Amino acid sequence: MTTQIEKTIITDLLKQAGITVNGNNPWDIQVHNEQMYSRIFRDHTVGAGESYVDGWWDCAALDMFFDRVIRADIENKIKKNYRLLFKILLARISNWQTPKNAFVVGKRHYDLGNDLFTGMLDQNMNYTCGYWKNASALEEAQLAKLELICQKLKLQPGMRILDIGCGFGAFAKYAAKKYQANIVGVTISEKQAEYAKENCRDLPIDIRLQDYRDITEKFDRVVSIGMFEHVGYMNYHNYMRIVHDCLPDEGIFLLHTIGSNHSVYKADEWITKYIFPHGMLPSIAQIGKSIEDFFIMEDWHNFGIYYDKTLMAWHHNFNQHWDELKLHYGDRFYRMWNYYLLLCAGGFRSRSMQVWQIVLSKKGLTGGYDAPR
């Protein structure tokens, strides 16, 4: 049963964020089951997410709600219990991103169904942040992102490119068609691999269902777009060593990743449990430490604010296509997926998460590096 103390604490914390329980603003929450307070007090982000999916509370604009909650640092104001502290300690000494577990996120997230992603993403199936500097629509932002990456890599016809975490093949197809590059793309998702092979048919592109740790070949360039979030901090050094060994002295590596403002050892518990198992976001310090033995940092570009717009576009597309998607996904999935998209949108809007494109070279590029924007 919910205690009055739990209800009072959470209600007061929400007030500090400008959120009123059963209020009239779009970011206010409507409580349908007061057991929600105990669940959140006990299980924190997992309790909040699970109680929402269970229909215990609603909010007309979850993205606005999360922006306020995150800015007010409500989660850290709720006293951590011993069970959660134990989980944090366990995360610091456990390597969940082992080769044995490499394909788990593929099966549980990226293999949910290509109909879900074709309904939600742009026509080229980019499942990473778009570049909205001069864009007004999702298609334009994603094409601008692909072009920006190609320019940063200084692609030339005939170059051999390794795409670690190639997704549905959007970058590979773009680079092969516009820059006449030859691409090897690796993914841990069976459905992504199937889609990418068909999507890139008749182009000089080799799509492989393969873990990055099994790569031993040489390439002119290496790119990784939205995959590093699945590597895990205990594997960062080895990841950078593998990329380093794939490149010649004048090679370039572009790392596109979501980033955390602080060094952490685990992701949001609800996201880890229901969306991206074994995921975590790297910090500047963790990436910096991992590249010390292998690379010189040529450029570090942050456009995390653009992920808010990208996620809101995906949210719009998902809801626009729900009538077709609901034949394969239930009502609980609908609430869970909206919660995921809008939680992340609020996270980027509040600037608690970033998107970094980092350009690295092995010994420093001759004559320096002029970074495109």
Identify the H or E element spanning 296: strand 296-302
Find the catalytic residue in 59, 150, 166, 344.
344
For the purposes of burial, counting CB atoms within 10 Å of the CB of 111, is it exposed (0-12), middle (13-18) or buried (19 or more)?
middle
Could you tell me which residues are beta bridge partners of residue 359?
254, 299
Distance CA 62, CA 154 (A): 40
Residue type, 93: I
Q: Is residue 310 classed as helix, strand or coil in its secondary structure? A: helix
Identify the H or E element spanning 183: strand 182-187
pTM for the full model? 0.91
Active site residue 150: no
Contact indicator for 332, 53 with CB cutoff of 8 Å: yes
Alpha helices in the chain (DSSP H): 4-16, 35-53, 62-71, 74-77, 82-93, 104-105, 114-120, 138-153, 170-179, 190-199, 236-246, 269-274, 284-291, 305-320, 322-325, 331-349
Identify the H or E element spanning 187: strand 182-187
Per residue of the chain (373 residues), give pLDDT as tens.
457 888 898 899 999 999 999 999 999 999 999 999 989 888 889 999 999 999 999 999 999 999 999 999 887 776 443 444 444 444 455 444 566 555 665 566 778 889 999 999 999 999 999 999 999 999 999 999 999 999 999 999 999 999 999 999 999 999 999 999 999 999 999 999 999 999 999 999 999 999 999 999 999 999 999 999 999 999 999 999 999 999 999 999 999 999 999 998 877 889 999 998 888 999 999 999 999 999 999 999 999 999 999 999 999 999 999 999 998 999 999 999 999 999 999 999 999 999 999 999 999 999 999 999 9
